[in-house]
């Protein structure tokens, strides 16, 4: 296990969340949409726009020097403008990413677990997400209690109960 710690995400973490959004959009595939391409796409940028809004919550993993390792956060979407992993009003949708040099060292799982605790502390009963079926992260989510509830052409929507 590497040396990192996890803290709540604050309004100062927009840059880290933007970095991790770009990573999440690109997943584990080699194909890469550029940062600008992702951050100018309304269907993606809505996961971080205006961070940190009321209702937003998340966590950031940092190394021993306080440098961000990765982040996991969640946001609510309305039924008339749902996120890719929308299941119901009042169920926050999460995004997860870890900087490449820090992957496969336990940060992703640790962030996911911390976010579930934070969701419960915020009074939410469920968390949702969308993941491409080719992304190994789907196995990580399954092992953390997420269950596929809907399938699109390439991605599944998954949900877990947090309390």
Is 154 a binding residue for ligand COA by CB under 6 A? The answer is no
Stretch that binds ligand COA, among 5-13, 31-39, 45-53, 136-144 (CB under 6 A): 136-144
Is 16 a binding residue for ligand COA by CB under 6 A? The answer is no
Report the C-alpha gap between 16 and 67 in whole angstroms. Answer: 10
Element (H, E) at 80: none
Is 1 a binding residue for ligand COA by CB under 6 A? The answer is no
DSSP string, 100-140: GGGTTSSHHHHHHHHHHHHHHHTT-SEEEEEEETTSTHHHH
Contact call for residues 116 and 91 (beta carbons, < 8 A): no
The residue within the footprint of ligand COA, chosen from 7, 11, 15, 28 (CB under 6 A), is 28
The full length of the chain comes to 163
DSSP state for residue 163 in the 8-state scheme? -
The residues facing 97 across adjacent strands are 71
The residue within the footprint of ligand COA, chosen from 23, 56, 114, 156 (CB under 6 A), is 23
The residue within the footprint of ligand COA, chosen from 8, 27, 82, 145 (CB under 6 A), is 27
- Pattern of binders to ligand COA over 79-108, x per CB under 6 A? -----------------xxx----xxxxxx
The residue within the footprint of ligand COA, chosen from 39, 76, 140, 148 (CB under 6 A), is 140
Report the C-alpha gap between 52 and 99 in whole angstroms. Answer: 21
Size, binding site for ligand COA by CB under 6 A = 19
Q: Which residues bind ligand COA (CB under 6 A)?
A: 23-24, 27-28, 96-98, 103-109, 131, 135-137, 140
């Amino acid at each position: 296990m590497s040396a990192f710690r996890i803290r709540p995400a604050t309004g100062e973490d927009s840059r880290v969340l933007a970095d991790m959004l770009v990573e999440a959009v690109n997943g584990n595939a080699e194909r890469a949409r550029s940062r600008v391409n992702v951050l100018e796409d309304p269907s993606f940028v809505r996961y971080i726009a205006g961070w940190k809004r009321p209702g937003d919550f998340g966590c950031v993993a940092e190394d021993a020097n306080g440098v961000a390792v990765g982040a996991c956060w969640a946001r609510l979407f309305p039924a008339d403008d749902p996120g890719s992993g929308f299941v119901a009003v009042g169920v926050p949708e999460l995004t997860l990413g870890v900087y490449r040099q820090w992957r496969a060292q336990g940060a992703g799982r640790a962030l996911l677990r911390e976010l579930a605790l934070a969701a419960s502390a915020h009074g939410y009963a469920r968390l949702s997400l969308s993941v491409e079926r080719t992304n190994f992260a789907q196995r990580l989510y399954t092992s953390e209690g997420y269950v596929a509830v809907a399938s699109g052409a390439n991605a599944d929507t998954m949900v877990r109960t947090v309390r």
